[in-house]
Amino acid sequence: MHTEPRGVDQRQGHALHYAPQATRDKVMPCVTLPRHIGLHGNLGKSGLRVSCLGLGTWVTFGGQISDEVAEQLMSIAYESGVNLFDTAEVYAAGRAEVILGNIIKKKGWRRSSLVITTKLYWGGKAETERGLSRKHIIEGLKGSLQRMQLEYVDVVFANRPDSNTPMEEIVRAMTHVINQGMAMYWGTSRWTAMEIMEAYSVARQFNLIPPVCEQAEYHLFQREKVEVQLPELYHKIGVGAMTWSPLACGIISGKYENGIPETSRASMKSYQWLRDKIVSEDGRKQQAKLKELGHIAEKLGCTLPQLAVAWCLRNEGVSSVLLGTSNPEQLTENLGAIQVLPKMTSHVVSDIDHILGNRPYSKKDYRS
């Protein structure tokens, strides 16, 4: 789906590298990655260049971690070549956006060097403060920009489909905020392929701006949408895939193999659903498969999380994989997945498929 092989960036100076020791304040030992492993690609068929790994702020910023740790994470990511930072108006009730904006301002990073994305749907308790009405898209994005102290975001996402709002109204509102300079592009999150096609059709019918990207959950245990549905959209209308939860909310990290640690996401009050998922019969089966995958990771000389992230990256239909980490060690480990990517041969991928037993089947080749 990309004109250049996954992992290769022909522009100099954009290989992934770790932050200088002074920047990281003794966080992790300095590791230099191969200079030929690139980091950037186009977001779908748009011209926007995004790092193939991005940093997300769900649960962590304004919730699970302190502002100081958030700054450490963003610094490590930025100095490693990551340019994509994702948030949403609903994360920590807006606090995540505030923290993100404060860090960008404090660091003095050039705005033009960053790709900042946010998502709209749940903005407040009032009926008019949620959904994808023209009113909430415009007011919600204004609120997000104020919290982040930014003039614009690079991509604004519709965080859910909204059956209560006509598609034409949604597309017109997204076109409006782009024309007003509040956003460069717009995308969707958790939308079906049919809903995305409808938005595209409306945009073409009324000479409006279509979405460029779908944010979708993608990991070893959830594959259908990204591997079967989105490739069709990419080839037909140029919509790319930005994926999240490569470790399945931490399940793939291996941390839940012997129970639920007190400091984990699954131990938080609002994550009863995750606890239930882990201790379920399916959850136990997943842990058994992860043990087998651990042997593959060992052979490749990497950790299980690195294998899982590299597995997501090996899919050329994925423009960027969003990482969600709660400490510098986790982030540095996950960024190391770039080193594993060249080892993801067809033989290794086949072995992984054999263990998982969940490879989705597509009848069509949309590239023909």
Which active-site residues does the annotation give? 91
324 Cβ contact list (under 8 Å, min separation 6) = 56, 57, 58, 59, 60, 244, 245, 247
User: What value, to the nearest 5°, has the Cα angle with vertex 28 and ends 24 and 34?
Assistant: 95
**Taking the CB of residue 102, how many other CB atoms lie within 10 A of it?**
16
In this structure, are residues 92 and 62 in contact, taking their beta carbons and an 8 Å threshold? yes
93 Cβ contact list (under 8 Å, min separation 6) = 62
* Residue 209: strand pairing partners: none
**Token pair in block for residue 272:** 């009863």
Cα separation of 224 and 156, whole Å?
25
Q: How far is CA 218 from the centre of its chain?
A: 9
Cα separation of 344 and 314, whole Å?
7
User: What value, to the nearest 5°, has the Cα angle with vertex 130 and ends 124 and 170?
Assistant: 150
Q: How far is CA 236 from the centre of its chain?
A: 22
SS3 (DSSP) at 240: strand
Q: Which of 140, 95, 108, 145 is CA-nearest to residue 122?
A: 140
Q: In one letter, which amino acid is 263?
A: T
CA atoms within 13 A on the CB side of 288: 9
Q: How far is CA 94 from the centre of its chain?
A: 18
In this structure, are residues 7 and 53 in contact, taking their beta carbons and an 8 Å threshold? no
286 Cβ contact list (under 8 Å, min separation 6) = 221, 251
| β pairing state of 240-244 and 183-189 | unpaired
